[in-house]
Structure 1
Amino acid sequence: MFSKVCVALLGIPLLRVLAAPREQFGPHIIHEERSVIPNQWDRRPMLDKTRIIPVRINLAQNLEGAEDLLMEVSHPDSPKYAQHYNAEEVADLFAPTKETIDIVLDWLRSEGHDVDHSHYNHRKAAVVVPMPIHTAENLLHATYDAYEHTNGKVHIACMNYSLPEAVRHHVDFVLPTVHFDVHTTPHAPTQEEKRDPTVPSPGKLKDKSPVLPKQGATLSPQALAPAGSLSKCDQQITPDCLRALYGIKYTQKATKKNSFGIVEYTPQSYIPGDLDLFAKQYVPGGVGRRPKLLSVDGGQISSASKSFDLNGESDLDLEYGMALTFPLSVSLYQAGDKIFGASFNTFLDALDNTYCAGDDPTQDPHYPDPNPGGYKGKDCGKYAPTNVISTSYAYNEIDLTPSYEKRQCNEYLKLGLRGVTVVYSSGDYGVAGNGGNCIDASGHLSPSGLRFNPSFPSTCPYITSIGATQIKPGNSVAKPEEAAQTVIFSGGGFSNVFPMPSYQKTAIQYYYKHFKPSYSSSQYNNNQKARGFPDISANGVNYVVAVDGAFSLVYGTSASAPVVGSIFALINDARLAHGKKPIGFVNPTLYAHPSAFNDITSGNNPGCSTQGFTAVKGWDPVTGLGTPSFPKLLKLFLSLK
């Protein structure tokens, strides 16, 4: 368990006067490695190894007992349920131990580096030492090369590096090393790609871009389902359809105490006129309302250019998030300037000032932005997190190193400790990954790969992953839904990085006992000990969305996530009105009470030359526990402390 007293004493870490002998730290052991050069990168023949680079050593956070603490404030049977921590308490809980600090600094001194307090930032848990590349090679037993991306970007990296046996358990990861996929695109996040069907879809799409929800037919004003009507919900999903599907009938009482945030990444941006067009049709009294802009590292609303690529995601998220929670003031975290854009870490930095120093410059945009017109600051800890945060972007789990993902995943654990509910869309490719890609025998992404390609952060056990369902064609809102089968397929599967969390154990054991898939270990992680996703689902097919001045149908778990986020925001309103705390990390409660969901037992999520998994009784890696029953969830969470 953590000791707040001991951690508090680390405010001024002690440096040993004499450097320990190198032999004390034991032999070097490989800490991280990669077997292949990532797609679109090639090794360059020349590298000046006298060049000075900043070697950043991210110290291991003090994670002993962290998950136990999260369960204490999140499990419905815990006497400490909802007794969340504040930001300062969480920062102290996670600070590296004195032993970690001393060992890493002693090791550097034994290697001849004159490190002192100026190299170590206690709150940000990182040691930065500038040194020539050849010195870094000696320190890390690595061989550095220059690599060039197809777009001309150059990056310094190695295929593996080592740390002494006594040091490696005190270090999360070192930069620059094996981390590739530099933020290469000047106008969009490169890895937060959205979904694209992995199997030919039955619908005609206007846009097959892998970075957006999918746009279907344009709807004339005469073809629109009227407000209040439920007769076309199998063809056109509207806020009224969703209220009917999930029993969302609630009058808010604590909007001034409540908060709900939706995250968007530049250049995606909503069009104000689209919000009004949608509100005029479906949100009485909502015309003229705008989300509260929370700009992260220069994020701004831009309507200079219009297209579904630029506006579809933001319009979708905000139109439905604002409609379902009206009159709550929804916050918009707009992340990244128009030059660098943003990564998930860019956004997380804005919520936690102790996290910034660990950003990976090969994965994350580096702010301040030196380019003309770029954002000249760096927003560390600028905002308190909203009670609920919804994000509809995703990486492939294989895009990132496990150490990077684990460190980011622990940030979601921290948010859970602070009482924040974080939801992510699970993807629209079934068991395939972004763009319909799977993992081939060489470890690369390929449409012809055969290994399932899970989505991150959906595989992080500290977020709530949201899959997609649909109303069966010809059915009414009163009939059971099925897993999404039109245009998109619900992302789902099992992690190759994260183990199964305790709250999932019963559900996954039941799944394997009664519905064990026939796929081999070469196709997916079938050790029955891996984190499964999604956790729950909501409708993600045939959404009526106003984009660029007209209505069209839109498909994706991009829609499912803000709908579930809205439901959790309404439940928070009820708890706050009763003098209770926000629901925070919800997964332990959801899995402990699966009867609060509408079980989905039909449909599948094909991909990677298979039919994927099948929706079955109980939890499954297609729709999770099922879709929410708002009345049951409201009663459940109001019954908790």
Structure 2
Amino acid sequence: MRVLSSLFALALFATASAVPARQSSHRAVLESRHHLPAGWTKRGGLNKRGEVPVRINLRQNNLERSEELLMDVSDPESPNYGKHYTAKQVADLFAPSKESVETVKGWLREASVASHRVKYNHGQGSVTLNMTVAELEELLHAEYDIYEHDTGALHVACESYSVPATVKHHVDFITPTLHFNVPLSKRDENAHSGASKAALIGQPGHSAVQPHQGAAVESIFTDLRNCSKQTTLDCLRALYKIDYEPVVKDKNSYGIVEYTPQAYVPSDLDLFFKNFSRGTIGYRPKLVSFDGGVVQNNQTGFDFNVESNLDLQYAIGLVHPAPVTLYQVGDLVEGASFNNFLDGIDSSYCGGDDPNLDGIYPDPSNATGSYKGPEDCGTAKPTYVISISYSINEAETTPAYEERQCNEYMKLGMQGVTVFYSSGDHGVAGRRGYCIDPVTGAFSPNGTRFTPSFPSTCPWVTSVGATQINPNSTVFDPEGACEQFIYSGGGFSDVFPMPEYQKTAVAKYFKDYNPPYTAKQYNNSQMTRGFPDISANGANYVTAIDGNFSLVYGTSASSPVAGSIFTLINDARLALGLRPIGFINPVLYKNAWALNDITMGGNQGCGTPGFTAVPGWDPVTGLGTPNFEKLRDLFLTLLFSA
């Protein structure tokens, strides 16, 4: 049962008893909000006697060493480069310490919580119990209340909470607390205020990465001289020097993640393959369903078919006969978030989902199409390479929520998994092209503060921006940053510190090309994560959609193309008995010569020209686009055996 439903069922508007004054000089704030999200106001009248399920997510052990541990197996200069961990080794390494468990239990005992009410789940690293709102307020020194959205949606939350200073370093975050990202009524689906619940990421308009439709394709060009007008498989092969036929097939693996209701159309795959890859006609990706994920065919059209069609047509077309796995996540009612996907490939990650942000399973809804099975936890292994063409605004959730998820990408890297994320389609702006109002903190079409996208800002993924073959140019000419229909997402995180592997390149960028903006526009401390890391073409993709061809634009195309290129590199390595490449960023930043530097174009947004592509790394196109031949030769020199 959802947290909120249990609250509302207990007479939300009963008279609340006064909360006694609390005094303590040994408390530490764990999370807080400075502004309410747009559209929300405090309504008041919460029944403090109502009971809620509480989850205390414990801090994982060895997190302070996480970057060191990942770099030990990912830095080409490390003696342990490529000696990846097993999933069990990673889970054991980061399980909460006995000290953390006992500290939290001791805190609850001191708060007069009977021990029989407290349950510890080692696999999920959390302590759970039921408490009244009044008890929870006393425990967290927080003030809970009812908040109402302009649409009439109601939500129970606090705006800040704290724990004893001796407890703070043993806890990641606690729910329910201050997350306001709740599903709103249908009336708000097209509104321009408020944040998007992560579990709605598959719904049209809810992702900061959304393919854009261009002109219908009346006739397909086959000459490489026309690649500035139409991007096809042959254009990409010529552009990135991909002259390679996979040889190991079943030993390799490439995963594409889609969130219901986004779905591919089988006949569209064959229409595409008939024109561009005839040997692939009839091929279908291996379907792995998480939490009732289904390739639905009830909702069709560009908004529901373009993402999956685009990803799979180009991924399969580039890597076939290497196998492609489709991770379809979430049912038709509840939807799914990035966390639901991560749960599905790692059982030790399950249990920390936020009911106000993530899909909760079994689906509590009785609607047709709701999934009543148990939550998928570690039901499938991750593929060697994973591409995800979705994102949310970094400011839409809390740092604690994002840091927990980012740590999971770090763990995947330790296991030899390469994760690609699209960087965004609105330049320095966020979802719908909106930016942050620096006064209210709300997203607004008139906002002026840049809006980085997550998970691209996580240092342990490879963020992929977008380029274009410039008008009247060919595949043999240098590309520019994409400035057709979309602008490559890029900038600097407001949450994550700059990783060690990136410091030299970003320091050079600021030294030579310091952008003309202040801290009012973006985090200019020169100490936070910059993105993207690399780029790939994101313009004029000829894509089969519902029986017709159309041009499509976006980093939605860039990420699966980059993932395909590195899947082919894995094939070349596996053919020699070598291990998969794993987390690639440290190798790329030390060997930027293996990429095509992009020095033209920008990523405008928020009423500014944005950043500019310059020699070396930049927050528009990263280090540049892949050169398959150079990258393959580079990774084949890193001879760590299987």
User: TM-score of the superposition, structure 2-length normalised?
Assistant: 0.91
Q: Does 1:38 align with 2:34?
A: no
Q: Which residue of 1 aligns with 2:5?
A: none
CA distance in 1, matches of 2:249, 2:566: 13
Is contact 1:193–1:434 with CA below 8 Å preserved after alignment? no
Q: Which residue of 2 aligns with 1:3?
A: none
Taking the TM superposition and a 5 Å limit, the aligned residue runs for 1:329-344 are 329-344=323-338
Please state how far the C-alpha of 1:36 moved relative to its aligned partner: 1.6
Matched residue of 1:357: which SS?
A: coil
Please state how far the C-alpha of 1:77 moved relative to its aligned partner: 1.2
Q: Which residue of 1 aligns with 2:268?
A: 274
CA distance in 1, matches of 2:40, 2:325: 38
Q: Which residue of 1 aligns with 2:104?
A: 104
Please state how far the C-alpha of 1:232 moved relative to its aligned partner: 1.2
Summarize deviations over 1:106-138 as a string: whole Å, max 9, x none: 000110112359611112110011010011000
Q: Which residue of 2 aligns with 1:139?
A: 139
Instruction: Indicate how the Cα distance of structure 1 residues 552 and 322 shifts in structure 2: closer, same or farther if over 3 A, else same.
Output: same
Please state how far the C-alpha of 1:30 moved relative to its aligned partner: 1.7
Taking the TM superposition and a 5 Å limit, the aligned residue runs for 1:565-584 are 565-584=563-582
Is contact 1:193–1:395 with CA below 8 Å preserved after alignment? no
**Could you tell me which amino acid in structure 2 is paired with residue 392 of structure 1?**
S
Taking the TM superposition and a 5 Å limit, the aligned residue runs for 1:560-639 are 560-639=558-637
Instruction: Indicate how the Cα distance of structure 1 residues 193 and 244 shifts in structure 2: closer, same or farther if over 3 A, else same.
Output: farther
Q: Which residue of 2 aligns with 1:414?
A: 411
Query: Hey, which bits of structure 1, 4+ residues long, moved more than 6 A?
Result: 185-189, 192-195, 207-211
Which residue, out of 508, 521, 524, partners 2:522? Answer: 524
Q: Which residue of 1 aligns with 2:341?
A: 347
Matched residue of 1:256: which SS?
A: helix
Taking the TM superposition and a 5 Å limit, the aligned residue runs for 1:523-542 are 523-542=521-540
Is contact 1:57–1:127 with CA below 8 Å preserved after alignment? yes
Q: Percent identity?
A: 56
Is contact 2:52–2:133 with CA below 8 Å preserved after alignment? yes
Is contact 2:60–2:95 with CA below 8 Å preserved after alignment? yes
Instruction: Indicate how the Cα distance of structure 1 residues 253 and 470 shifts in structure 2: closer, same or farther if over 3 A, else same.
Output: same
CA distance in 1, matches of 2:466, 2:637: 28
Q: Which residue of 2 aligns with 1:238?
A: 232
Instruction: Indicate how the Cα distance of structure 1 residues 401 and 68 shifts in structure 2: closer, same or farther if over 3 A, else same.
Output: same
Which residue, out of 551, 554, 570, partners 1:553? Answer: 551
Q: Which residue of 1 aligns with 2:378?
A: 381
Q: Which residue of 1 aligns with 2:483?
A: 485
Higher mean C-alpha displacement, 154-163 vs 584-593: 154-163
Q: Does 1:167 align with 2:167?
A: yes
What are structure 2's unaligned runs of at least 5 residues?
A: 1-21, 191-195
Summarize deviations over 1:360-383 as a string: whole Å, max 9, x none: 111111111022341112101111
Summarize deviations over 1:29-79 as a string: whole Å, max 9, x none: 221110222123333332221111011110011113121110011111111
Please state how far the C-alpha of 1:297 moved relative to its aligned partner: 0.2
**Could you tell me which amino acid in structure 1 is paired with residue 394 of structure 2?**
E
Q: Does 1:225 align with 2:255?
A: no
Which residue, out of 237, 259, 262, partners 2:256? Answer: 262
Instruction: Indicate how the Cα distance of structure 1 residues 217 and 210 shifts in structure 2: closer, same or farther if over 3 A, else same.
Output: farther
Matched residue of 2:629: which SS?
A: helix
**Could you tell me which amino acid in structure 2 is paired with residue 263 of structure 1?**
V
Q: Which residue of 1 aligns with 2:358?
A: 364
Higher mean C-alpha displacement, 145-154 vs 562-571: 145-154
CA distance in 2, matches of 1:448, 1:191: 24
**Could you tell me which amino acid in structure 1 is paired with residue 173 of structure 2?**
F
Q: Which residue of 1 aligns with 2:213?
A: 215
Matched residue of 2:321: which SS?
A: coil
- How many pairs are equivalent? 603
CA distance in 2, matches of 1:110, 1:517: 52
Matched residue of 2:127: which SS?
A: strand
**Could you tell me which amino acid in structure 2 is paired with residue 76 of structure 1?**
P
Please state how far the C-alpha of 1:190 moved relative to its aligned partner: 4.0
CA distance in 2, matches of 1:340, 1:477: 43
**Could you tell me which amino acid in structure 2 is paired with residue 584 of structure 1?**
G
Please state how far the C-alpha of 1:151 moved relative to its aligned partner: 4.9
CA distance in 1, matches of 2:161, 2:541: 48
Is contact 1:183–1:365 with CA below 8 Å preserved after alignment? no
CA distance in 1, matches of 2:114, 2:201: 46
**Could you tell me which amino acid in structure 2 is paired with residue 80 of structure 1?**
N
Summarize deviations over 1:475-510 as a string: whole Å, max 9, x none: 110000000011110000000111110000110011
Matched residue of 2:115: which SS?
A: coil
Please state how far the C-alpha of 1:536 moved relative to its aligned partner: 0.2
Is contact 1:467–1:624 with CA below 8 Å preserved after alignment? yes
